[in-house]
Structure 1
Amino acid sequence: MQFQNTLTFAQQLDAEDILRKYRKEFYFPQIEGRQVIYFTGNSLGLQPKLAQSYVDEIMGDWRMLGVEGHFHADKPWWDYHERLAGPLAKIVGAEREEVSVMNTLSVNLHLLMVSFYNPTKTRFKILCEEKAFPSDQYLLNSQVRCHGLDPEETIVEVKKREGEHFWRTEDVRAKIEELGDELALVLIGGVNYYNGQVFDMEGITKAGKAVGARVGWDLAHAAGNITLKLHDWDVDFAAWCSYKYMNSGPGNASGVFIHKNHLGNTDIQRFEGWWGTKKETRFLMKPVFEPMETADAWQISNPPVLALAPYLASLQLFEEVGMDALIAKRKRIVAYLEFILNEIAQAVEGSFEIITPKDRGCQLSVLLHGQGRPLFDYLMKHGVIADWREPNVIRLAPAPFYCSYEDMYRFGQILKDGILTQND
């Protein structure tokens, strides 16, 4: 299709959009009485209107049943988390027993590293991407120090080539092969938070496993965004937050994946708690831990059902729509946004460039030249909620559930006006 940077064309695309009705299923913030153009689904997704009823249901059960809500609520609390496993397994390409929900993302990555980072004198190094998300850097450094190792000697970063804004898969594979028998763990963000690049997770996992390393993925920006086949790719473990593309609410619970090859293994090292012990005998209060034969074995505490309720509500929408439809719209709407940005770049030459490669999800990162924070502030003032990353990048993520093609057109007009205003 030949795109056009016109309101009429954008409205035509919206009329053809099979997901257009879902826009009405979310609450939009307003600025000066007008609904915003929302580009930060990669940071915090909008609230599904369905979420409130799911929370209210638990509040009502708590009010009417008290402690008996654990077993006698319509959705009993003691196994509430199990309702999320099936829908999540479809989203991340897993078998149901390989998925659980617990804690938050960085907590889960710490817990998973307890199981999957077991350094020896000869195999101890960790491979990650250059300038990984800060929380990942902190957890890697602290885990390494807990083993009495020096992060400088243990953590190896794959760097981007000079003058390039993205990583090359061949460079990641080359570094894996170079480390060889020294490599204990590969842990990379599946979609880079800064430039929106999607890593070749299948190829990198295969390369890591070929040299005997464990391979895990931080899927914060990938889950609910791109096609994932964690089971088929033979990934050892992964974790993701739920509040970005999956719209579960700020700071909400994290999902985890553990490949079934590791399930039921009583010898695996992990931190244990009573919600990971066998469901059938949990309330017998046995002194010895008997792990569940699913990813739930990594659970420590009983599930925070008030937090899981909006997550479950959002997953109902995912079940209705399916990832194939979401990804199809994501590809089209991101391509349309890219077209509009390129049109504006030609009109205001040298003002910015897109640094997101073609291997991408629902994000375009725009590197500003000579504009800086004032342009971002102009956008926010005029009803565009985007995301600023120092020193001079604006991240734009048109989430397919609730963003429209008309949003893309109107954003382009505001951006162009903002650049011309700043240049005056």
Structure 2
Amino acid sequence: MTFKNTLEFAQQLDAEDVLSHYREEFHYPQVNGKDVIYFTGNSLGLQPKRSQKFVDEVMKDWRELAVEGHFYADKPWWDYHERLAEGLSKVVGAKPEEVSVMNTLTVNLHLLMVSFYRPTAKRFKIICEEKAFPSDQYMLQSQVRFHGLNPNEAIVELKKRDGEHSWRTQDIVQTIEEVGEELALVLMGGVNYYNGQVLDMKAITEAGKSVGAFVGWDLAHAVGNVKLQLHGWGADFAAWCSYKYMNSGPGNASGIFVHEKYLGQKDIPRFEGWWGTKKETRFLMEPEFDPIASADAWQLSNPPILSLAPYLASLELFDEVGMATLIEKQQKIVAYLEFILHEIDKQVESSFEIITPKDRGCQLSVFLHGEGRPLFDYLMKNGVITDWREPNVIRLAPAPFYCSFEDMYNFGQILKRGILQK
């Protein structure tokens, strides 16, 4: 398709967009009396309007039933989390029994490391990407120290080639092969938070498995954003947060994936709690742990129902639309945003450098050469909610549920004015 940098063309794209009416399903902040152009779904998704109904249901049941809500609410609390498994399994490419919801992301990664990081004298190294999200770095370093190892020796960071902004799959696979029999675990972000690159998770998983290592994925920026096939790829485990592209609310519950070959095992290393025991025996208060034959066996405590309610509401939207349709629009709207950036670049003295490769999801990370923080401040004051990373990078994430092609055009005009007004 040949794009045009005109309002009429952007409105035509919106008229043809099968998801355009889903904009009405979300609440928007306002600046200067107008709905914002929202580019930070990669940090916190907008609130679905139907979330309130799901939360109100729980509040009503709590008010009217109190403790009996565990068994007699319309959606009983004791198995509330199970309602999320089917929808999540479609989003991450898994079987429902391989998926559970609990805790928050870094907590879950720590818990999964108990099962999938088992260092020996020979096989003890972990491969991750350089400058991984800080929480992942801290988690890995503390896990390595917990096992009495030196992070400088045990953690192998994958670096980009000099002068390049993204990783090459061949370099990642080569590093995996070189570490070889010393490699215990590959744990990386499926979509890099900084440059927006989607890693070749299938190829990397296959490479890690071929040398006998466990392979896990931090999918914080991937879930609800890109196509995932965790079961088919043979990943051992994964975890993700739900408040970015999944729109479940600030700091909300994390999801996990555990491959079916590890389910139902009583002898797998795992920190255990009573909500991971079989439902049939849970309230018998037996002294021995009897794991549920699903990823729920990694649950420790009863889940926070008030947190799960908006997550369930958002999953209802994903189930209605399907990931294939979301990804189709995502690719088109990101391509249009890229076109708009190049068009504005021709009209101003500044130079834009998009550091996100073509293997991408919703996000474009852009170097604004010659520009600084004042441009970001101008965008924010003029209704463009975006993300700034030092020294001069903005991250733009047009989530397909609630961003429009007209938003992309209007952003280009605001960006141009912000540069020219200096």
TM-score w.r.t. the length of structure 2 is 0.99
Please tell me whether residue 404 in structure 1 is matched to residue 415 in structure 2.
no
Q: How does 1:40-79 map onto structure 2 within 5 Å?
A: 40-79=40-79
Residue matched to 1:258: 258
The Cα shift of 1:140 comes to: 0.2
In the alignment, the residues of structure 1 paired with residue 390 and residue 269 of structure 2 have an alpha-carbon distance, to the nearest angstrom, of 39
Q: Partner residue of 2:342? A: 342
User: Which residue of 2 is the match for residue 225 of structure 1?
Assistant: 225
Partners of 1:182 and 1:347 lie apart in 2 by 53
Secondary structure of 1:388 counterpart: strand
Q: Distance in 2 between matches of 1:304 and 1:116?
A: 26
State the shift of 1:344 in Å: 1.2
Q: SS at the partner of 1:356?
A: coil
Residue 325 of structure 2 aligns to a residue in which SS? Answer: helix
Matches within 5 A, 1:93-132: 93-132=93-132
The letter for the 2-side match of 1:242 is: S
Question: How many percent of aligned residue pairs carry the same amino acid?
Answer: 76
Instruction: Give the distance between the partners of 2:346 and 2:292, measured in 1 at CA.
Output: 58
Aligned to 1:257, the other structure's residue is in SS state strand
Q: Which residue of 2 aligns with 1:272?
A: 272
Q: CA deviation at 1:346?
A: 2.1
Deviations 1:57-113 (A, max 9, x none): 000000100100000000000000000000000000000100000000000000001
**Distance in 2, Cα, partners of 1:169 & 1:347:** 36
Paired position in structure 2 for 1:386: 386
| Equivalent position of 2:375 in the other structure | 375
1:255-305, Cα deviation, whole Å (9 max, x unpaired): 000000111111110110000011110000011111110000000000100
TM-score normalized with structure 1 length: 0.99
Residues 20-60 of structure 1: CA deviation (Å, up to 9, x unaligned): 11000000000121110000000000000000010000000
1:116/1:214 contact within 8 Å kept: yes
Matched letter for residue 296 of structure 2: D
In structure 2, the partner of 1:286 is: 286
**What is the distance in 1 between the residues matched to 2:341 and 2:316?**
34
Deviation at 1:370, TM superposition (A): 1.9
CA distance in structure 2 between the aligned counterparts of 1:10 and 1:4, rounded to whole angstroms: 8
Amino acid at match of 2:250: P
Partner SS, residue 394 of structure 1:
strand
Shift of 1:206: 0.0
Is 412-421 or 50-59 further displaced after alignment? 412-421
Inter-partner Cα distance in structure 1 for 2:372 and 2:172: 32
- Residue 180 of structure 1: aligned partner: 180
Q: Return the offset for 1:391.
A: 2.0
Counterpart Cα distance in 2 of 1:24 and 1:105: 30
What secondary structure sits across from 2:251 in the alignment?
coil
CA RMSD of aligned residues (A): 0.6
Equivalent-residue separation in structure 2 for 1:308 and 1:420 (angstroms): 46
Aligned to 2:22: 22
Displacement after TM superposition at 1:352 (Å):
2.1
Note if 1:325 corresponds to 2:331: no
SS of 2:205's partner is helix
**Partner SS state of residue 166, structure 2:** coil
Amino acid in structure 2 at the alignment position of 1:118: R
Alignment check: 8 A CA contact 1:330 1:398 kept: yes
Q: How many Å separate the matches in 1 of 2:174 and 2:375?
A: 40
Equivalent pair of 1:351/1:419 in contact (CA under 8 Å): no
> Which residue identity lines up with residue 377 of structure 1 in the other structure?
D
Equivalent-residue separation in structure 1 for 2:116 and 2:18 (angstroms): 42
- Measured against aligned partners, the alpha-carbon deviations of 1:188-215 in whole angstroms (never above 9, x if no partner) come to 0000000000000000000000000000
Q: Give, as a single letter, the amino acid of the residue that structure 2 aligns with 1:330.
A: Q
Distance 1:110 1:313 in 2: 28
- Are 2:20 and 1:35 equivalent residues in the alignment? no
Q: Residue 421 of structure 1: CA displacement?
A: 1.8
Q: Which residue of 2 aligns with 1:202?
A: 202
| Secondary structure, aligned partner of 2:231 | coil
CA distance in 2, matches of 1:415, 1:350: 11
* Counterpart residue number, 1:365: 365
Q: CA deviation at 1:349?
A: 4.6
- Aligned residue type for 1:53: K
Q: Structure 2 CA distance, aligned partners of 1:219 and 1:349?
A: 38
> Which amino acid is the alignment partner of residue 269 of structure 2?
Q
Which amino acid counterpart does residue 390 of structure 1 have in structure 2?
E
In structure 2, how many angstroms separate the alpha carbons of the residues matched to 1:120 and 1:349? 57
2:239 is aligned to 239
Give the distance between the partners of 1:2 and 1:368, measured in 2 at CA. 25
Check whether the contact 1:81–1:100 (CA below 8 A) recurs between aligned residues.
yes
Q: Give 3-state SS (helix, strand or coil) of 1:157's partner.
A: strand
**Counterpart of 1:305?**
305
- Does the residue aligned with 1:365 lie in a helix, a strand or coil? strand
Number of equivalent positions = 422
Q: Unmatched 5+ residue regions in structure 2?
A: none
CA distance in 2, matches of 1:229, 1:12: 34
Q: Distance in 2 between matches of 1:159 and 1:387?
A: 24
Q: CA deviation at 1:372?
A: 1.3
Runs of 4 or more, structure 1, over 3 Å off, are none
Aligned AA for 1:366?
V
How far 1:348 sits from its partner (Å)? Answer: 2.3
| Aligned partners of 1:274 and 1:289 also within 8 Å | yes
Cα distance, 1:390 vs. partner?
Answer: 1.8
